[in-house]
Amino acid sequence: MSELIQIGSPNQRPRQPRPEDLKLQFSEQGVKELEALLTHYPTKKACILPALWLAQREYDGYLSGDAIAEVAHRLERSYAEVEGVATFYSLYNTAHKPGLHKIEICTCLCCHINGAWNLRDRLVEKLGIHHGETTEDGLFTLEEVECLNSCDRAPCMQVGSQYYGPLTEESLDDLIETLRNTKESTVVQYSNDIVQVQLRKGEA
């Protein structure tokens, strides 16, 4: 079975909590931000995507069944509808809790021609994980992704809100060491950045 099929395995879909087990965990600030986001959209349904980014931040970078259930509850939508949206987009983390830093290395054509496969193999060797896996210490998740739309910087990769490239083996090693010492989750930071952009969009 290929890795890709394993990642999409139904066993790794978020699990819906029983209605009586639903615990609302958004922070006070998160609730206020959701209320502000809702004023930017004509319906609660239209706010599902930004609400999921907010939930991904509030739930430490992971859209668990509880997180999805909370979004469904707050937007008065069904769990199935919100889960369907969350699992459709790969930018949402629904398969499992990611590490502190999600390394998304592009192995598409331009990056491949410029040595991305060697860099991918170096990451596999350095971190001891493959595509879709997280290191045991919870620091890194590795994902091989399609074009990041940054081909002029090939080979490149994305970590949180930052793009890095053109990468060499040396700059990749340096970056991994820097991330090892970065205790703030770039996954959570990235989700928050998107929430803040969405909030500002409504002010324009």
Q: Which parts of this chain interact with ligand FES (CB under 6 A)?
A: 106, 108-111, 147-148, 150-151, 154, 156
Q: How far is the CB of 160 from ligand FES (least distance, A)?
A: 16
Q: How far is the CB of 80 from ligand FES (least distance, A)?
A: 34
140 touches 61 (CB < 8 A): no
Q: Which is nearer to ligand FES, 93 or 150 (CB)?
A: 150
Name the residue among 58, 145, 72, 155 with its Cα closest to residue 102. Answer: 145
Q: Which residues lie closer than 8 Å to 171 by C-beta, 6 or more apart?
A: 164
Q: Which is nearer to ligand FES, 22 or 110 (CB)?
A: 110
Q: Which is nearer to ligand FES, 85 or 148 (CB)?
A: 148
Q: How far is the CB of 102 from ligand FES (least distance, A)?
A: 16
53 touches 198 (CB < 8 A): yes
Name the residue among 168, 144, 143 with its Cα closest to residue 155. Answer: 168
Side-chain-side CA neighbours of residue 188 (13 Å): 12
Q: How far is the CB of 169 from ligand FES (least distance, A)?
A: 17
Q: Which is nearer to ligand FES, 82 or 116 (CB)?
A: 116
Q: How far is the CB of 116 from ligand FES (least distance, A)?
A: 7
Q: Which is nearer to ligand FES, 104 or 133 (CB)?
A: 104
